[in-house]
A and B are shown apart, each in its own frame.
Chain A
Amino acid sequence: MDNLRSLPKFRDGLSYLYLEHCRIDQCDKSVSFHDKDGETPVPAASVAVLMLGPGTSITQAAIRALADNNTLVIWCGEENVRFYAWGTGGTRSARAILEQARLASDDQLRLQVVHRMYRMRFDERLDADMDIQQLRGKEGMRVRAAYRRASAESGVPWSGRNYDRGSWSAADPVNRALSAANSCLYGLCHAAILSSGFSPALGFIHTGKQLSFVYDIADLYKAEITIPVAFQAAKDGPADIERRVRLACRDLFRETQLLKRIIPDIFAALGLRELADEEDPYAEDAAKPADLWDPTGGDGEGLSDRLI
């Protein structure tokens, strides 16, 4: 794939495909997976996230095809509840990550982003002069209320968010459902972040981990999506709960038009304008060297030609 513009937009795609116990390879120019029943081609160019669970193996040719098609590949644990590694998203311009780095490294600018992120989670207007502790307190109350409301609506008792990472199956069903739903949401937010050229590590509210920014963005949607989904799934008992949660997530992702919303929400939270396709100078040619930095204000155009 030479030109990124011919790829489907992230918002038009399918949210995720979770596979386990199969072999994924390239077959007649499509990406297919093989299991004991047969061979199934995957519409790779329109899937945002391909989640590979236990027992999967994948060939180099398949990874190349997926990377060409801008499909994020993540390797995860059983039922998608542990996250091991990820592949690459497809953007060539560094403009987004440079803006993100600028906002994250200046305390005043960073605080503005944090404010905007908290405000986006509330329907009602908040006072502009609320400090960060007040916003955090208000958000904590809102999350606890969301748990209480979901518990009341589903009739599933709630004794707090807890699970033992060493002993996964010992957690109560609703906590397991929450973890499964959240990791689905993280995968999608992660794909959106990479797809639009931001860094998952440069968080604003969260800090210090490779996925800090993923947690920031996913938090925008938890009260609306993953909390109600998890309680509804737990209502129907513990059997097969992770799979049922993923299924319910797909439905709610579609109903809430999440794929259409994530990238504009990221730009809104950062106070940035989305680049139109024709504004990405590197979309046409993967091999074109980038411009050179010039502190005196020149754009370095033409200099890169000398390096070829």
Chain B
Amino acid sequence: MVVLIVERAKPGLRGELSRWMIEPRAGVFVGRISALVRDCLWEKVCREVGDGGAIMIYGAQTEQGFAIQTFGETRREIVDYEGLFLVRRRLDG
């Protein structure tokens, strides 16, 4: 399963994503797509999200059972702790 969350994305991009996945909340996309389609969609998102942000989470053979990819600037950042993905909330300023 793939979960893709876009922030501040244009309606065109969201419309295109909803061809492949459902959008249960604004900007949140969920679906079961192949690795090839997933990677193509991710490239598209990175190209077209502009100054917005995106995060993608999908099942993978890791200890946590999933992998994470992020794009763009957000206050929360994904940190890789020796193979363990944790979320860091950055200090203001």
Contact = CB atoms under 8 A, between A and B. Distances in A.
Contacts of B62: 254
A215 B90 CA distance: 41
Given A14-B64, A15-B63, A243 B82 contact: yes
A38 interface: yes
Contacts of A253: 63
B86 to A, nearest CB: 5
B83 interface: yes
Interface string B56-76: 000001111000000000000
A41 B87 contact: yes
Nearest to B79: A40
Interface string B32-65: 0000000000000000000000000000011110
A42 B62 CA distance: 17
Of the four ranges (under 10, 10 to 19, 20 to 34, 35 or more), the interface on chain A belongs to 10 to 19
A199 to B, nearest CB: 28
B53 to A, nearest CB: 17
Given A14-B63, A254-B62, A254-B63, A40 B82 contact: no
Interface in A112-165: none
A40 B86 contact: yes
Contacts of A37: 88, 90-91
Contacts of B61: 254
Given A14-B64, A15-B63, A250-B63, A40 B88 contact: yes
A39 interface: yes
Contacts of A18: 81-82
Contacts of B88: 37-40
A290 interface: no
A42 B87 CA distance: 8
B84 interface: yes
A17 interface: yes
B89 interface: yes
Given A40-B87, A41-B86, 7 more contacts: A14-B64, A17-B84, A38-B91, A39-B91, A243-B82, A246-B82, A254-B63
6 contacts: A14-B64, A15-B63, A37-B91, A38-B91, A39-B88, A41-B87
Interface of A: 14-15, 17-18, 37-42, 243, 246-247, 250-251, 253-254
